Every structure is written in structure tokens, then in C-alpha cells.
Amino acid sequence: MRSYDVFNGDADGICALLQLRLAVPLNAELVTGVKRDIDLLGRIPVDLPANITALDISLDQNRLAVDRLLATGSHVFYCDHHYPGESLPDHPNFTGLIDTQPTTCTSLLIDQHLGGRFHHWAIAAAFGDNLNAVAESLAAQAGLSQEQTLSLKALGICINYNGYGASLEDLHFHPAQLYQALLPYRDPLQVIADKPEAWRQLSAGYTADMAQGLSYAPVHACQYARVVLLPDQPWARRVSGVLGNDLANRYPDQACAVVTEVDAGHYLVSIRAPFNNRTGADELARQFPTGGGRKAAAGINRLPKQELETFVAAMVHQYSGL
């Protein structure tokens, strides 16, 4: 039976799959894309049954494809922390490991599933998903030094940074290529020690892109929300998510959004709930047709430019309680 590993192209998806395949090696076809590319299960053919592992992609967005695959006799293992829809598939071939609490991520769920066999990869992923307090606590419990903890944080952030872009051409590495480059490392601390080309390139790119992103003043800033508008440039699309995380950490009482031009008529929006109130980002995003995500972090893939003021007003309303 054919096998497919389907995963989000960010740090959480990549690190979740790294843990699974370090524990159980499998020659599976890789199905992934940029972070916003989550309708991935529809790419899997339904002519023959298959074994499918799906990681860090919304079940709600992929439900029809999952139902079709199950109907053909496929087996689906699904692990995620995004909104799954009103119910999970009631099918003997479906195994779901889903938790939408804002203090977890897919890699942490896989870490628990595997009994902590590759715990450092899960900590790196948590840092990449901006679960800094959770990751720091886990690192301390694991006995990691401050230097080791900061190394895992830097690696997680850079893996996550690589996933952002309007297309694969915006990225430094195809997420499948980055996953394969990291798979030889049972411990992510060895990546830092070895300094492979992928790590060097991502670290340099992240530093340069963040410097540009932080130079832009907000187009809206109030008690409840902060919005930064970036130009239609590859560096801006790459940095949108990690800049949103950085702003959320700098301004913990405000919701933050990074709005990036993607074409003449649309914006790409990365939303972060206030760090001190990590909820509601998914509800805000789903008010717009191409929006979705999770409680603490969400996004809108194509926001018409004429709706920017509507979005900002909805953001303020969401977090002002008005």
C-alpha cells in the first residue's frame, strides 16, 4: 500500500514529521507546500487505498478529502492543533490526535505520542510556533542550559521563517527539501553544532529580512491592535509570520497583524492574538472568506485591498470587547 506524509511547511509540521520518521522510518511520498498551503490532502489520488499521515493542517479545511480517502479504504492518522470542524470522522480507519488548546502544537502532541523520544525537536517546534513560555519550561525540565535553549529557539524560528511566502519561489528551501536536510539529525542541537548549509542560509536570511520588517512603522496602533503594512516583495512575504510573532512578544497586550501586498488587489494577513490573551485570532480570520487558523495565530490568504479598513475595525472590535 502506498504511503503519504502530508505536512505543513512550517516548523511545527516539519518537526512533527521529523519525530515520527526518526521513530518509525518510512519511504513515503512527501506532500507539503508553503505554510498557507493547507488544502494538501486533495492532492492524494483516490484510485487505490493508501496509508496517510497528516500533520499540522486543518481537518476542517481538508474534511472532504479525508472522507473521500477513507471511503476508498485508506488509513488516515491525523495530528493537529487547529480548529477541526464540528466533529471528527467516525470511521475505523481514522485515528485523530487533535488538541486546539493555545498552549500546544502538533509537534508537542507527537512528542507525547512518542513518549518524548525526540524531545528536543518538539521544543524547537514550540519555539517556532511562538510558544516561548511553554518551550522554555520544557527546556528547563529537560535540563538544557541557557545556551542550548537559545539554540533550539533560533533553529525553530528559522525553520518556521522558511515556510512563509506566497509561493514556493519565495522560500529559501522547499519544505520537503528542508525536512530531508534535517532528517539525519536525531538531535537538533547537532544541527547548530554542524552548521549545515541550510542552517547558515536560513539564519542569514532571517536576520536580514527581520531588520527590514522592523523598520516599517505601523499603519494602525491603538490600545487593542497594531497593524504593519509591508510591500509586495519576496523578503516581506518571507518575514510576515515571524515578524507577527516578534511584534506579539514586544506588545503583549495588543493583537498584531502583518499585512503584506501580494498583488494589485489583495493582501496576505498574518494575525497574532495578544500574548496575554491568546485567543480569538481564528474567529477574527474566519470572518473573511480565505481566513483560518488557530486561537493564538491565524491568517487571511487573500484580503481584498478595499477591505483593509474593515479588517482593522473587526480586529479592534474582537479585542476591545465592544
Domain ranges in the chain?
Answer: 2-204, 216-320
Q: Is the pLDDT of residue 295 over 80?
A: yes
Average pLDDT over the chain, rounded to an integer: 95
Domain 2-204 has CATH 3.90.1640: yes
Interhelix angle 146-162/175-182, rounded to 10 degrees, is 150
Helix (H, G, I), strand (E, B) or coil at 210: helix
Write out the three cell numbers for 170: 519565495
pLDDT band at 38 (very low <50, low <70, confident <90, very high): confident
> What class has domain 216-320?
alpha beta
- Smallest Cα–Cα separation from 175: which of 199, 159, 191, 187? 159
Q: Is the pLDDT of residue 322 over 60?
A: no
pLDDT of residue 165: 86
> What percent of the chain is modeled with pLDDT above 70?
100
pLDDT of residue 4: 98
Range 86-99 average pLDDT: 96
pLDDT band at 241 (very low <50, low <70, confident <90, very high): confident
> What percent of the chain is modeled with pLDDT above 90?
89
pLDDT of residue 207: 96
Are the C-beta atoms of 51 and 5 separated by less than 8 Å? Answer: no
Range 235-257 average pLDDT: 93
CA distance 280 to 286: 10
Write out the three cell numbers for 168: 514556493
Which alpha helices (DSSP H) does the chain contain, by range?
11-23, 59-71, 106-113, 119-128, 132-141, 146-162, 175-182, 188-194, 197-214, 234-250, 281-285, 308-320
Q: Is the pLDDT of residue 163 over 80?
A: yes
Range 169-177 average pLDDT: 96
pTM: predicted TM-score of the whole model, two decimal places = 0.90
Write out the three cell numbers for 131: 510558544
Q: Is the pLDDT of residue 78 over 90?
A: yes
β-strands 50-55, 94-98: how paired?
unpaired
Single-letter residue type at 127: F
Q: Is the pLDDT of residue 10 over 90?
A: yes
Q: How many CA atoms lie within 13 A of 212 on its CB side?
A: 16
- CB within 8 A of 310, min separation 6: which ones? none
